[in-house]
Amino acid sequence: MALQRAHIQLAKHLDINAPGTVQGPPSSQSHHLLNLSSQQSFPTYALGYDPLDDVEEMQQPIPARPANGQGTEHPFDMLSETNLHPILFRIEPGPDPFQGVPVPLLVDQQTGLIEHGNSGQPLRYFSHLPRWVATDVAGMILELWIRLDSRVQMSDILDRVNVNGKMPRPNTLNMRRIRFREIINVPAMYPGRSMPTANEVQLIGNLTREQILLNTSMAVDLQGNRLLRPCLVNNKTVAGYVDSGLSIDFFIADFGLPIPIPGRRTIVTLELRKRLQQLARRRGLGNRPADYNKLSKDLLPSWWNKSVAVTPMPDLDGKSHDEFVADLLDRLAPTTTRNRVRRPGMMSSASPAGPAAPASAPVSATTIPVARSALPAPPLPSHAGAATQSTSSQLPPSTTPSALRNAAAFFPRPSQTGAMGVTTNSNFIDPRLLVSLPTRTKLTGAPLAGVGQFQVATPTGTSYYVEAATQGAAAQVARPGIDQGDRSDQGAGGLREEEERAAWILSEYIASGQFEEGAGAGHDDTEEDQGADNDNDNDNDNNAELEDE
């Protein structure tokens, strides 16, 4: 199955250079394999608490502050230049199992008091972050911490730095991450800027077509059907490679079909690079892949240099680079969404309506979850029962959904009376087929619908409760997405609009005779924590003032 997914992906058409670009002689693609002793394996990332229990605080033993700006231990201390975690080589993030999961506060187990960081704000609890971070913390460790859990912000790390004199600036730590990523040719997963940076354009040019399609900067050995993991020396260069032991489709295995790789960011970055290559060739600067670097500043994207004006390019399409990229962004749907940040301070009294609940590992003896008091459920839409009649004239033409693409909704807690489900879209389910229901009406739904409750497992092992007409329909729910609010205007993507559209589609679906009553609701309580593959970058303003390390 892994080979089949990889072969389907590699069959995609993908040009990484503009037409007319002359590449050098093809490399032999040979990679120097190192003979290393066995490396210590990495633990599976675990939250340390059940995300469905509304945990507000987590107690943990707080170690004494080390001397001389040193840091304390963390679960991923085995990370080294020759033992790099696989998540570091991922190009684009996968579905986020931590989307919408609130972060509890860190409490000193001995005193019962909330820990506060360098900023004076309460520290947030993350099982993989040490209480004290060394002032000279390496970029590879910073990158790993942020990629393991998409909710981690740079402020969470800065608040833990064991300050020994001057507090490092955020840009100082971000530059360490950037320099590390440059060594292994990995762009930022969630860049802070909407437009591709010069660094991203350069890095993507260092990747092969196979690496981009398989979503990894690991070396791809097609003959051996394997991925080769780089080993570094002096944090500056690649010394050689080792067999990663991962399946060749490892970095695309958590996506549903069709696999949305390359994603929006990668496509836009590639297209901008090809545009600059074409401009360099037409200006007589050369037709090699990197000759766009010879372009003068006024011909480069304006956001790369604040002193450059937005200029149309008459020898291309008459558009400025800004207009070209903006048009691309408008045409391409986002592959993933970035978590909204609630930082700093205490958690709000109203939790998100529908966290994408990753299954939790057993809580260790050193961490004690503190349950949150019951919160009021969000109000139900006043017109939920009359959805079909209110907007039928505005809905798209009638279609006949298949039996495996039925309405489904995600619920954070099946037992939470009155809780509102969050509209779910896995990117390959027609959004018109989604429907939100209160869990207290377990077997009801849109008009005429018989909906059962199922617990489904994703390819990465996490599980969710969904409402769907059939088990097959439930299995189609890959990952939940936070609803865009109770907006009813057409195209807003709000909860109310989705309810109305889904009610209309689902009623037609039932009328078509494809629906079978009596689908049972099976439950499987086995859950396992999985690490997230997202990071929250806010780096790369090329003209930002940086502090020397």
Token digits of residue 291: 């000759």
Q: Looking at the domain assignment, is residue 29 inside a domain?
A: yes
Looking at the domain assignment, is residue 526 inside a domain? Answer: no
Q: 322 and 456 in one domain?
A: no
Spatial separation of the C-alpha atoms in residues 189 and 362, rounded to whole Å: 29
Domain end position, chosen among 290, 315, 331 = 331
Q: What's the whole-number average pLDDT of the chain? A: 70
Same domain assignment for residues 14 and 124: yes
Give the CA angle between residues 247, 177, 198 to the nearest 5°.
95
Instruction: Find the DSSP H helices in 104-153.
Output: 139-148
pLDDT (0 to 100) of residue 167 = 83
Which among 266, 309, 312, 269 has a CA at the least distance from the CA of 292?
269
Specify the pLDDT at position 291: 95
Are 50 and 369 in contact by the 8 Å Cβ rule? The answer is: yes
Asked if pLDDT for residue 528 goes beyond 80, the answer is: no
Q: Is the dihedral of CA 205, 207, 209, 214 positive or negative?
A: negative
432 domain residue, yes or no: yes
Residue written as token pair 């340390």 = 48
Specify if 374 maps to a domain: no
Model confidence pLDDT, tens digit, residues 410-429: 322 233 222 233 333 333 33
Write down the pLDDT at residue 487.
Answer: 39
* Nearest partner of 40 among 93, 98, 85, judged by Cα: 85
Q: Does 388 lie in the same domain as 282? A: no
pTM flag (> 0.85)? no
pLDDT of residue 214: 97
Residue 241 lies inside a defined structural domain of this protein: yes
- Block residue for tokens 């762009």: 187
DSSP 33: B
How many C-beta neighbours within 10 Å does residue 226 have? 17
Angle at 498 between CA 495 and CA 504, to 5 degrees: 140
At 1 the pLDDT is 66
Please say whether the beta carbons of 491 and 477 come within 8 A: no
Residues 323 and 385 in one domain: no
| Tens-place pLDDT, residues 7-49 | 999 999 999 999 999 987 655 456 778 878 888 899 999 999 9
Residue 459 lies in a domain: yes
pLDDT at residue 249 above 70? yes
301 and 409 assigned to the same domain = no
Q: Which residue has the tokens 């201390």?
A: 77
Residue 448 lies in a domain: yes
Q: Is the peptide bond before 258 cis (omega within 30 degrees of 0)?
A: yes
User: Within this chain, do residues 159 and 236 fall inside the same structural domain, yes or no?
Assistant: yes
The verdict on 396 and 251 lying in the same domain is no
Q: What is the arithmetic mean of pLDDT over 123-129?
A: 97
Residue 365 lies in a domain: no
CA atoms within 13 Å, Cβ hemisphere of 323: 11
Gap between the Cα atoms of 121 and 43, Å rounded: 30
Write down the H helix ranges in 393-486.
Answer: 471-475
What would the DSSP string read from start to end of 51-90? GGG-EEEEEEPPPPPPSTT-----TTTT-BTTB--GGGGB
Q: What is the DSSP string of 154-181?
A: HHHHHTTB--SSSPPPHHHHHHHHHHHH
- 420, 285: one domain: no
Q: Which pLDDT value is given to residue 470?
A: 52
| Residue-level pLDDT at 332 | 83
* Beta strand 408-411 pairing with 463-468: antiparallel
Say whether both 76 and 210 belong to one domain. yes
- The C-alpha atoms of residue 305 and residue 322 are separated, in whole angstroms, by 13
186 and 121 co-located in one domain: yes
| Least confident segment among 14-18, 141-145, 186-190 | 186-190
Q: List pLDDT tens digits, range 65-120.
A: 999 889 999 999 999 999 999 999 999 999 888 888 999 999 999 999 999 999 99
CA proximity to 142, closest of 492, 535, 548: 535
**Contact partners, residue 226, CB within 8 Å, separation at least 6:** 243, 244, 246, 248
The total number of structural domains in the chain stands at: 2
Q: How far apart are the first and last CA of the chain?
A: 47
> Are residue 16 and residue 93 in the same domain, yes or no?
yes
Which of 278, 214, 275 shows the shortest CA–CA distance to 246? 214
Q: Which domain holds residue 461?
A: 381-511
Contact 22, 287 (CB under 8 A): yes
Contacts of 118 (CB under 8 A, 6+ apart): 158, 159, 160, 161, 163, 167
Same structural domain for residues 390 and 322? Answer: no
Position 13, amino acid: H
